[in-house]
Amino acid sequence: MAPALAERGVNLTVETIEGPWDEASAGYKIRINGIEVDLYRFDPDEPNVRLADDPWIDCTLKPLAVANSLLMEAGARDRVAVISAGGNDGTAFLLPVEALAVLLESPALEPEERPVVPE
């Protein structure tokens, strides 16, 4: 994704602050272009049990929301959208906001087929 975002004015830097497999980890946290993103926390009473309702969705949507914010700040027309967020078959893509609006409103697509544009 980094090369595609760079073409749109966003030089992406991603760091892991706290990994879920780190010793004594309290969860999973990353930094994207200096913005900390808390993907999920573990239950303090039950180590390795995630507090999030759906951590896979969060791990997909939260970073993409930051990417969209960075695209907006860069003045890019495109945004990242995702279909089947949080699943193994999830697909992310970049499209102009006008094209995304058409897909989001299209009666030809079932609700589960419509992309999600993380904000």
Q: Is residue 51 part of a domain?
A: yes
Domain contains 40: yes
* DSSP 8-state code for residue 65: H
**Total domains, the chain:** 1
Residue 118 lies in a domain: no
> How buried is 28 (Cβ within 10 angstroms: 0-12 exposed, 13-18 middle, 19+ buried)?
buried
How many angstroms separate the CA atoms of 54 and 37, rounded? 16
Q: Is residue 10 part of a domain?
A: yes
Stated pTM of the model: 0.92
Answer for the pair 18, 28: CB distance below 8 angstroms, yes or no.
yes
pLDDT in tens, 11-47: 999 999 999 999 889 999 999 999 999 999 999 898 7
Where in the sequence is the domain holding 13, given as residue range(s)? Answer: 2-113
At 42-64, the pLDDT tens digits run: 998 987 789 989 999 999 999 99
Name the nearest CA neighbour of 37 among 48, 52, 49. Answer: 52
- Whether 119 is in a domain gets the answer no
What residues contact residue 82 under an 8 Å CB cut-off, 6+ apart?
60, 61, 64, 90, 91, 92, 93, 115, 116, 118
Residue 7 lies in a domain: yes
